[in-house]
Amino acid sequence: MPPFDSKAALKNAEKAIKQGRVDLAIAEYIKVVEAQPRDWNSANALGDLYVRAKQIEKGVQQYIRIADHLAEEGFYPKAAALYKKILKIKPDDEYSMLQSGDMAAKLGTLADAKQYFNQVAERRNKRGDKKGATEIAIRLGTLDPEDYESRMRAAKLATESGDTTTALREYKDVAGRLEKKERYTDALVPLKAAYDLDKSDDKLRARLFTAYLGDDPNAARPFAKSNDELKDVAEALTKGGHGDAALEVLAELSAADPTNIEIKAQLALAYVSRGDLSKAKSFLSPETAGANPALWLTIAEIELRGNRLAEGKTAVMQAMKLDSNQTQAAVVLGCKLAEVNADAGYQPIEAVAARLLRERGLGPWSLGVVALEGLGSWRHGLVGDLGLVKLCSALRGRWVELHETAELLEPYGEWAGLAGAYLMAGWSRGLVPGASADRAHFVRSRAA
């Protein structure tokens, strides 16, 4: 079979047109178009011939095929002109109205685009096509990228009509544009709407979390996924003055990760600062306290209030080991506890005393002075005090060593300091039997 001769066919078509034989010209052009579908000039000529022959539908088909090709290739002005031509021939061609609207939108003539789309919407409403009218309403709402309100309405309509893809696209894009303009609070609405449609989108969740964190930490909490994000929520709540809510978040973190000592320490410190030792206790341990002297003192208080005296004293000593400046705090703790339990109250004082004995240049006498004058404790007598040395020497009939004065005070136990003070006061007044000042002087001179 010989190859198709398009030139001959076109020549025959021209001849037929001159003769007024439009039907024969159409037949020849059909051959050319069928043999060469991308011969757009011939297709356009065929469309013109169809219109001339009053075969409007066939003519429109050719024009649409050409216009669609031009639109696909990005020749929007030429495509727009051809769709407009179709509407002159067939004013009710809905497809061409829609395409004309799209072309106008692409060319930036939004007023023209709205006009075309409104014509389609009106037609669909008249024939009761609610779904179709909604589709157009969505397209109208999404025409102007900067018209956020219209786009939000369009996204809502798309959601209601089941077009999730369009709704998500609009919500995300509107949110992104608002975020670029640093309108983070406004961006929350489209972000939340998008996330409600697709909770599997972790990027959306993260964007929502970040947006809420700066504006409303409580609202950010449901969107926190990791422990680090929950920590951020707790920190933001604390900064915002929502201490109770922050503690709830930290407790949630601690329950999720019981091995996290840092979180437990935060909780313990927070409850300690509030004076709520019962709650602090559940988060406190030697591991939690670590190198924090304040927490060790809290452990001490809890142990001493529970009458675990040795454990409490050890905790006080650990606090002072970590920070020697905790001595005053330990004394205050002892005084506070002594009001309800003398034995418990003495433990911090004893710990301070033991600490003082390790200090260079401090001996039993210095400890006694500090205990009596500074700590308010009567447990430590003035061992080695010259007055006690004289008293003890008078009683024993020989000059005693400094350390022997401790034996004089030992029977008085926890009241050794008080006893020493009374003994010296009584001796100075001659009230201690067998221990006059003259006898002390005699013993001293004989020893010399």
Q: Where are the domains of the chain?
A: 258-359, 373-448
Which has more pLDDT, 285 or 164? 164
With 60 as the cut, is the pLDDT of residue 442 above it? yes
Among 54-58, 123-127, 219-223, 278-282, name the one with the lowest average pLDDT.
278-282
Give me the pLDDT at residue 370, please.
Answer: 54
Give me the pLDDT at residue 197, please.
Answer: 93
Mean pLDDT estimate for the chain: 83
pLDDT in tens, 342-381: 788 778 877 777 776 565 544 565 555 555 555 556 566 6
Phi, psi for 216 (deg, rounded to 5): -155, 90
With 90 as the cut, is the pLDDT of residue 316 above it? no
Give me the pLDDT at residue 413, please.
Answer: 67
pLDDT in tens, 22-40: 999 899 889 989 989 899 9
With 90 as the cut, is the pLDDT of residue 254 above it? no
Q: Which of 15, 44, 9, 43 is nearest to 27 (CA)?
A: 9
| For residues 246-255, average pLDDT | 82
User: What's the whole-model pTM score?
Assistant: 0.49
Give me the pLDDT at residue 376, please.
Answer: 59
pLDDT in tens, 119-141: 998 998 899 888 888 888 888 88
With 60 as the cut, is the pLDDT of residue 107 above it? yes
Give me the pLDDT at residue 72, please.
Answer: 95
| For residues 262-283, average pLDDT | 76
Which has more pLDDT, 159 or 404? 159
Give me the pLDDT at residue 377, please.
Answer: 62
| For residues 380-392, average pLDDT | 70
CA pair distance 420, 405, nearest whole angstrom = 10
Give me the pLDDT at residue 212, please.
Answer: 85
pLDDT in tens, 172-225: 999 999 989 988 888 889 999 999 999 999 998 998 888 888 778 888 888 888
Give me the pLDDT at residue 321, please.
Answer: 86
Give me the pLDDT at residue 173, please.
Answer: 92
Instruction: Name residues whose C-beta falls within 8 Å of residue 261's C-beta, 6 or more positions apart in sequence.
Output: 287, 288, 290
pLDDT in tens, 317-334: 888 888 888 877 887 887
- Determine contact, residues 313/350, Cβ cutoff 8 Å: yes
Give me the pLDDT at residue 364, please.
Answer: 60
Q: How far is CA 408 from the centre of its chain?
A: 67
Phi, psi for 339 (deg, rounded to 5): -65, -25
Other residues' Cβ atoms within 10 Å of the Cβ of residue 225: 11
Give me the pLDDT at residue 362, please.
Answer: 47
Which has more pLDDT, 177 or 422? 177
- Fill in the amino acid letter for 428: S
Domain 258-359 has CATH 1.25.40.10: yes
Instruction: Name residues whose C-beta falls within 8 Å of residue 447's C-beta, 6 or more positions apart in sequence.
Output: 398, 399
| For residues 407-426, average pLDDT | 74
Among 12-21, 144-153, 232-241, 283-292, name the one with the lowest average pLDDT.
283-292
